[in-house]
Copies of this chain bind each other. A is one copy, B any other.
């Protein structure tokens, strides 16, 4: 049995606790939060769990094997470092850290201590995204031509991070997991309507090679909730609508066929193809159940998590570059 400590009981923490309680490989031993009312709530629902408002009591607890951190991003580094140095495995809420330096250091510490460092990019563990990955990996859609994502709604205006740091980790983790492709550059544009330092609407572009781009619309101020991703392939195209209750993924046998006529440089024959659409069945399993299973499995076996430190770091590096681009008026920035 893996004993878990959970630090941070805001919106997401209770979901982690519930999943670790119900998982047969894990037990929740201790929960930490600064707010008494959150701890009281947890104690009422899970009376067998210890509660504390001191994170050190969790990170240094000898009974504990692994710590889940679901606190504000700026605290991730300090808490994760302390946990790893105390010999605990760590699962950190996304974004992993607020800078790539912090992220790199955590990866090093985890390696040195031979501990699992996993980032809680929950979408990677949804059955919808896993189905898309399966389809993509099968070669069915061909080469990816573009990736377009919209994630907007009337959302909570965060006070410490902007809309890109808040929402884009979801989409970047989904894209990275599916495509597994290299990119070097990012550009972004953002607008602030409340706190001038905190953009609440942003458009971000990840530049791959010459004719592949990924574009992201992120918005806390939209009247409608849209979570729509298009993946255009050379053979087929995928539409992933996360607002659909069941039919989230549609595969369109639709596209163009391009034939270059060699002797005439710009004489191109384009033919259009539209065929059937299919909607694969997607199992209805809570992503966090799959994710906590995976974390437990990695802790047990030492296997590398799908969303390990490197995975989380890549996301942070894109966010950093996007942030620089916004400050530079949308200039294309290298991802370091």
Return the CB mask of A106-146 against B: 1 if under 8 Å, else 0: 00000000000000000000000000000000000000011
Q: Which positions 78-114 of chain A face chain B at CB distance < 8 Å?
A: none
> Which residues of the other chain, B, contact A205 by a CB distance below 8 angstroms?
189, 203, 330
Copies of this chain per assembly: 4
Q: Is there contact, CB below 8 Å, between A213 and B189? A: yes
The verdict on A211 contacting B191 (CB below 8 Å), with A224-B239, A330-B205, A330-B330 known, is: yes
Give Cα A213–Cα B47 distance, bound, in whole angstroms: 51
A10 to chain B: closest CB distance in Å? Answer: 18
Take A154-B274, A332-B329 as given contacts and tell me if A223 and B191 are in contact as well, using a CB distance cutoff of 8 Å. Answer: no
Is A280 at the interface (CB under 8 A from chain B)?
yes
Asked if A254 is an interface residue, CB under 8 A from chain B, the answer is yes
The reply to whether B201 and A203 form a contact with Cβ atoms under 8 Å apart is no
Asked whether, in the complex, the Cβ of A222 is within 8 Å of the Cβ of B230, the reply is yes
Complex Cα distance, B205 from A217, in Å, reads: 12
In the assembled complex, A176 has its CB within 8 A of some CB on chain B: no
Give the chain B neighbours of A152 by CB distance below 8 A.
230
Give the nearest-CB partner of A259 in chain B. B194
A21-56 to B contact mask, C-beta < 8 Å, 1/0 = 000000000000000000000000101100000000
Chain B residues within 8 Å of A145, by CB? 191, 193, 201, 221
Residues on B with beta carbons closer than 8 Å to the beta carbon of A1: none
Kindly state whether residue A278 has any CB partner on chain B within 8 Å.
Answer: yes
Q: Chain A 171-195 against B: per-residue CB contact (8 Å), 1 yes, 0 no?
A: 0000000000000000101011111
A11: interface (CB < 8 Å): no
Chain B residue nearest to A212 in the complex (CB): B191
CB distance from A28 to the nearest CB of B (A): 12
Contact (Cβ within 8 A) A211 B230: no
Docked complex Cα distance between A157 and B269 (Å): 10
Cβ–Cβ < 8 Å partners of A330 in chain B: 187, 205, 330, 332
Taking a contact as CB atoms under 8 Å apart, the answer to whether A223 and B230 are in contact is yes
Which residues of the other chain, B, contact A331 by a CB distance below 8 angstroms?
Answer: 331
Task: Determine the distance from Cα of A277 to Cα of B279 in the docked complex, in whole angstroms.
Answer: 5
Residue from the list B45, B201, B203 in contact with A45, Cβ < 8 A: B45
- A-B contacts, 6 of them at CB < 8 A, read A193-B211, A194-B256, A203-B215, A222-B237, A223-B232, A276-B280
A residues lining the B interface (CB < 8 Å): 45, 47-48, 145-146, 148, 150, 152, 154, 157, 159, 187, 189, 191-195, 197, 201, 203, 205, 211-213, 215, 217, 219, 221-224, 230, 232, 237-239, 243, 245, 247, 250, 252-256, 258, 266, 268, 270, 272, 274-281, 329-332
- List 16 additional A-B contacts (Cβ < 8 Å) besides A223-B254, A224-B230: A45-B45, A145-B221, A146-B219, A157-B270, A187-B189, A189-B213, A192-B211, A194-B258, A197-B266, A205-B330, A221-B255, A223-B232, A223-B239, A245-B245, A277-B278, A279-B279
